[in-house]
Amino acid sequence: MNFAGEIDEAAVRGHRQARVRRLMQEADVAAVLLFDPINLRYATGTRNMQVWSMHNFCRYALLAADGPTILFEVMPAAHLARDLETVDEIRPSLSADYMVAGPRSDEMAARWAGEIADLIATHGGGNRRLAVDRLDVPTALALQALGLELVDAKSVLERARAIKSLEEVRAFKRSLETCEASVAAMRAALVPGLRESDALAILLKESLARGGEYPETRLLTSGPRTNPWFQETSDRVMREGDLLSFDTDLIGPMGFYNDISRSWVIGETRPSDAQRHLYATARKQLETNIALLHPGVHFLEYAEQTFVLPEPYLANRYADVGHGCGLGVEYPFLWYPEDAEAGAYDGIFEENMIVCIESYVGAQGGHEGVKLEQPVWITAAGPVVLSDHPLEDDYA
């Protein structure tokens, strides 16, 4: 595929909305009602205060299976979506959140639900099944009081988001390039004596300067703070010879989840034998599991075939073997066989999925750990790694 040239964002939006409606019809729902700002962005192409609206029920959209897309927006911001071909109508949003409505929450929820129910009656063709991705208690009760059958919209949205159009793959790659450039700029600036927080600040600054939006995590650590994983960035001063490990988890241009992980040694010191062993094991896990990705392979079959971590590292394994990637961490979530009882499910890898394959290698109670991750495009011909940012070839 040619990744050069302008991205047709209208084509990306059109593909996404069409996928949502196709899967709505398969699920036999009259409409989907979306609050999650990532689902809103996917289905309508709109964004507004993405992080704030993740924890405030302030904007939402209703997509009829056979009818209009209506965006309910905070009205001072209605102009943001006026020129989008994926939005047929913009209305003022109502909120029953206690912070906004206080003791009038139930009253506002009833008013809000009445408007939604009227739209279902108008555009649902007699179908009363409404798929919703998130609700608070007053709004859920108010919809049910009006006789609507509520179902989970996430099964529709997650499956829709899992398959990318070719233009969406191109857009993903373009967004990822800004993350890779930001990582390179951070590495060039790092010297012993800087804090972990200094390194993260450089990464975020560079991403924002290239059109990035926000970080989803703060997973950049050094030395003994690389083991166990999921310790957040601190003010620890990085020393010569320390291992630095990080997961970018950046929302980049066009809202894509720029998700790569890298590890390297701080300063001019060569990695120790212990560091090289960790790195070689992590890289082998990563590359083995990438090579297994092909259309038609079942998720559980894949998990059984993946690289078996040596015993010293198994108890300290990462949370997943891999996960779908697009506007965030997406379906499918690929569990280790050892974690099957936590919720492992089956499915089939399909062409034009993008899956991030993960590796973390660090002994339980050990000194350091290596984190590596690559986003992989599943094509008819097999897996294609989308990140061009190099791994450490001289650490073998």
| CATH number of the domain enclosing 52 | 3.40.350.10
Query: Is there a domain that residue 215 lies in?
Result: yes
Task: Count helices and strands (H / E) in the chain.
Answer: 11, 17
Residues 192 and 106 reside in one and the same domain: no
Residues 150 and 179 reside in one and the same domain: no
Residues 214 and 157 reside in one and the same domain: no
Cα–Cα distance for residue pair 104/58, rounded to 1 Å? 16
Instruction: Name the nearest CA neighbour of 282 among 253, 255, 304, 262.
Output: 262
Query: Is there a domain that residue 1 lies in?
Result: no
Which token pair is 200? 């993260």
List the domain range (segments joined by +) for residue 34.
Answer: 9-161
Residues 83 and 188 reside in one and the same domain: no
Residues 287 and 194 reside in one and the same domain: yes
pLDDT of residue 1: 78
Which token pair is 148? 């609507």
359 forms beta bridges with: 372
Residues 93 and 192 reside in one and the same domain: no
| CATH number of the domain enclosing 314 | 3.90.230.10
What letter does residue 268 receive in the DSSP assignment? S
Given 161, 188, 209, the domain boundary residue is 161
Query: Is there a domain that residue 320 lies in?
Result: yes
pLDDT of residue 110: 97
Query: Is there a domain that residue 94 lies in?
Result: yes
Task: Write out the H or E segment, with its range, that includes residue 105.
Answer: helix 105-123
Query: Is there a domain that residue 44 lies in?
Result: yes
Given 126, 161, 196, the domain boundary residue is 161
Residues 344 and 310 reside in one and the same domain: yes
Query: Is there a domain that residue 3 lies in?
Result: no
Query: Is there a domain that residue 4 lies in?
Result: no
Instruction: Name the nearest CA neighbour of 293 among 323, 319, 320, 317.
Output: 323
Which token pair is 378? 């599943």
What letter does residue 231 receive in the DSSP assignment? P
Question: How high is the mean pLDDT in each 10-residue block of the chain (396 residues)?
Answer: 89 98 98 98 97 93 98 93 96 94 95 98 98 96 98 98 98 98 98 98 98 98 98 98 98 98 97 98 98 98 98 97 98 97 97 98 97 98 98 90
Residues 243 and 296 reside in one and the same domain: yes
Query: Is there a domain that residue 388 lies in?
Result: yes
Residues 177 and 143 reside in one and the same domain: no
Residues 329 and 279 reside in one and the same domain: yes
Given 113, 146, 161, the domain boundary residue is 161
Q: How many domains does the chain have?
A: 2
Q: Which long-range contacts (CB under 8 A, 24 or more apart) does 113-122 make?
A: 113/139, 113/142, 113/143, 113/145, 113/146, 114/146, 116/33, 116/62, 116/143, 116/148, 117/143, 117/146, 117/147, 117/148, 119/31, 119/62, 119/64, 119/70, 120/30, 120/31, 120/148, 122/67
What one-letter code names the amino acid at 210? Answer: R
Residues 105 and 168 reside in one and the same domain: no
Residues 116 and 232 reside in one and the same domain: no
pTM exceeds 0.85 for this model? yes
